[in-house]
Amino acid sequence: MDLFFSHGRIAFKYGLIQLGFDKKDKIMLPEYICDILLDPLKDLGIKPIFYQINKDFTTNWKSLKKKYVNSVKAIVIVNYFGFEEEKFFFNYFCKKKKIFLIEDNCHSLKIKSKKINNSSDFTFFSIQKLVKKTYSGGILRMKKKFSNSFYHNKKLKKYNVGFKVFLNNFLENNFLRFKRFLKFKFLNMPNFSKLNSIKNERIIEDCIIDDYSKLTFEKTDLKKIRQKRLKNYFIWEKFCKKNKSIEIIKRKFNKDNIPWVYPAYINDPKIRKKLFKYGWKNGYSITSWPSLPRQLVNNRNKNIWKKLVCFNTDRAPTNKSIDFD
């Protein structure tokens, strides 16, 4: 059974509650992570311990083993951009240490099976990134049977879709060209080349998904979305492979997933900036990621961030060549 919350981070929070996390418990996470994922830990008083990742977004096991302490209760792995971590090693390590394993799948959406991977105690997803006409949506999927009383006892309100969110989504889904015109005419392009230039929405109150978004998600043909996004994923991949200035991240994408973005590295900051401008002008979401927590803005993370470019798979150019000069 899936439980639907307003956001992926809220699903993460209530997964931790179900596992019995309490104040002063410790949890391990990769240090290259979005700042908002730490909000649930602050709310629950959980202490994070960060391990390093490699350039290809795989786990740096030397760092993880060095940072591990016996009081750690769980390890979180992030399947960056739909690149799935090798579960065998995590499964072995967590069983040996008798700790929980948690998967962050907010960069993609699995559609082949609703059964959770045997090596994970729970996983969580974000609907909004991948399904149009949804104003909220995070999924919690746990391995063991759990109590969902907190979900049905009315302590959690349904997400209140604000006017700005509604208007943005309405224009995006019904008048896309008009929205692009308004954006390009009246808004200045965010400085995607500046670290943490885009701030994520802070959630004041824990909520479950709003009715409209849940109904939309349940009626959505996820196979069609996967087909469209995979097609765009490979268009962006082909574009990146043709450009010598772009470095491909050599990881295998699981085609059973719906990809959020196609990631790549660009070493030349001028070309990176041109790509951001091209995307803004032509209605393609080409951005940096993520908004890093302040305590994790170190040289390792900055070296990844200042080269990383994410091409959103919602849209891609149909022409063979892309001129972004």
Give per-residue pLDDT as tens, 191-241: 888 887 777 777 888 999 999 899 999 999 999 999 999 999 999 999 999
pLDDT at 200: 74
Residues whose CB is less than 8 angstroms from the CB of residue 174 and which lie 6 or more positions away in sequence, other chains included: none
Residue in this structure with the two tokens 């991977």, named with its chain if needed: 117
DSSP designation for 22: -
**How many CB atoms sit inside 10 A of residue 60's CB?**
17
pLDDT at 271: 93
Ramachandran class of 7: left when φ > 0, alpha when ψ lies in -120 to 50, beta otherwise: beta
Q: 291 near 34, Cβ under 8 Å?
A: yes
Q: Kind and range of the H or E element at 248?
A: strand 246-248
Which ranges of the chain have pLDDT less than 50?
Answer: 113-116
Question: Can you list the domains of the chain with their CATH numbers?
Answer: 2-152 (3.40.640.10), 222-312 (3.90.1150.10)
pLDDT at 317: 87
Amino acid 33 reads I
pLDDT at 156: 87
Q: 312 near 275, Cβ under 8 Å?
A: no
**What distances in angstroms separate CA 147 from CA 1, 30, 81, 307, one per listed residue?**
11, 29, 31, 43
Residues whose CB is less than 8 angstroms from the CB of residue 28 and which lie 6 or more positions away in sequence, other chains included: 48, 49, 50, 51, 64, 67, 68, 72, 74, 75, 76
Distance CA 57, CA 308 (A): 11
Distance CA 46, CA 28 (A): 10
pLDDT digits (tens, 9 = 90+) for 131-150: 988 889 999 998 876 666 66
pLDDT at 173: 60
What is the DSSP pairing of strand 261-266 with strand 246-248? Answer: antiparallel
pLDDT at 181: 57
Which residue intervals of 30-102 are DSSP H helices?
39-44, 61-67, 87-97
pLDDT at 2: 85
| pTM, 2 dp | 0.90
pLDDT at 166: 65
